[in-house]
Amino acid sequence: MRFLDVFNEEYNLAEAVQLEKLFKLGTFEPMSNKEHIRWMDTTGQKATPVMWKYDVKPDRDDTGLINEFRARLVCLGNLQKKYFEPHEIYSPVVQSKSSRVFLAYALAKGMKVRQYDVPTAFLRAAPSRDTVISSIPGYKQTDEEGKPIYYKLKRNLYGSVESAKCFQDLCDKWLSEKGFKQSTYEPCLYINREKGVIISLYVDDLAVASVDDAAHSWIDKELEEKFNIKKQGILNNYLGCRYRQKKDGNWFIDQEERISRIASRYNMDKGKEQAPTPYLNAKSNGFDWDLLTKDEEELERLFKEHDCHLPSLVGELLYIAKSSRPDILTATCRIASHVAYASEEVIRAAKRIVRYLYLTRKKGITLGSAQQGLVTAWVDSSYLGENSDYHGHSRYGY
């Protein structure tokens, strides 16, 4: 039995709630079939199909309980790309290293960091050009001639190829009006020195640092009036990481839940939890070249035999390494260089990293207050074991 079948009633209710919100916000206006044909002849475009996307929102405390059932009407934006230039749809997101610098700076200045969510964020910005969508699945209506009704968008839907760009532009304009300056090096960081507020923007998730209660009350009121934001309290889950503030005021960042999920997927969470091996055995002088292959069929056989799609696993490991576990960065980068030229040895080495992560899943990084407001970059480099080419192996992280 499918998950949707079990919770059919809950998702039907979620659909009704979503449609009520869309019509209340004036997201679209009906368009007859004749008007749709006229629009196609004028623009040379076709109506964009839409579909329902179902999801659940888990409890914030990582208990595994379902907090909310969600149904979202989304555009098939992949069919819109041919009508746009790349620069018309590009929207930046804050980098994980920038969020850590943001936290370290806030900590050094004694600022409090809170988290907000913008509900129906993309619906708050209008499309940059006329966009028409097809009939809503499950709620089809007809015009006077009995033909399906289309809808002209007055606000963007999720999935639209330009929805993120339009919302980013809306936020940028509004923040500028409120006295915020965009960071030169990170386009998703905004600073208002006069009010003592810094905002880190990741699509519809905001992390806000305020220097005192007066600054917090000001930005809280402004965000409420503009976006009807959801207040989520002190920073907790952000950019796929869990943030916890210790008694000494320092921030601890970990990804225990994500690591456990990956280990379970690759069956690396079983067996006795012995002391983890400090050396990940991703050989500094490379893998056995005689065993490596780049034949697509052979690679596919290896991935299937070991139930491990190496490119996907490496992507997960790199994200974790750069977010909260720099101790696996060197070994993971060694594996990453063999994604398209792999062997059974490479796959086993990648799985060993997963096992190591699982055995040390409660570990993370701590952000402490920097002396005199300085942010330090730590670099690890070593020539030990480099007997083949005498090139040092090193990685850096901020």
pLDDT in tens, 120-150: 889 899 998 889 999 888 887 887 888 889 9
How much is the pLDDT for 275? Answer: 62
Beta-bridge partner residues of 293: 342
Is residue 3 scored above 60 in pLDDT? Answer: no
Per-residue model confidence (pLDDT) at position 151: 92
What digits encode the pLDDT tens for the residues 222-280?
999 999 888 988 888 888 889 888 888 788 999 999 999 999 999 988 877 776 654 45
107: Cβ contacts below 8 Å, ≥ 6 apart? 249, 250, 251, 367, 368, 369, 370
69 within 8 A of 14, measured Cβ to Cβ: yes
Q: Distance between CA atoms of 320 and 322, rounded to whole angstroms?
A: 6
pLDDT digits (tens, 9 = 90+) for 356-395: 999 999 999 888 765 555 555 555 444 444 444 444 444 5
| Stretch among 166-170, 343-347, 359-363, 377-381 having the lowest mean pLDDT | 377-381
CA dihedral 139, 143, 148, 154 (to 10 degrees): -70
Q: What percent of the chain has pLDDT over 90?
A: 36
List pLDDT tens digits, range 179-235.
Answer: 999 998 899 999 999 999 999 999 889 999 999 999 999 999 999 999 988 898 888
The whole-number pLDDT of residue 369 equals 62
Check if the beta carbon of residue 324 is closer than 8 Å to that of residue 253: yes
Domains of the chain and any CATH numbers: 1-75+128-159 (no CATH), 91-124+162-236 (3.30.70.270), 256-397 (no CATH)
The reported pLDDT for the residue numbered 378 is 55
What single letter denotes the amino acid at residue 128?
S
* 320 band by pLDDT with thresholds 50, 70 and 90: very high
Mean pLDDT taken over the chain = 84
Question: Cβ neighbours of residue 338 under 8 Å, at least 6 residues apart?
Answer: 287, 292, 346
Give the number of other Cβ atoms within 10 Å of residue 181's Cβ: 12
- Which is it for the CA torsion 21, 23, 27, 32, positive or negative? positive
Look at residue 397 and tell me whether its pLDDT is greater than 90.
no
With a CB cutoff of 8 Å and minimum separation 6, the contacts of 190 are 175, 180, 181, 182, 183, 198, 199, 201
73, 19 in Cβ contact below 8 A?
yes
Q: Are 154 and 126 in contact (CB under 8 A)?
A: yes
What average pLDDT score do residues 317-331 get? 90
Whether 63 has a pLDDT exceeding 80, the answer reads no
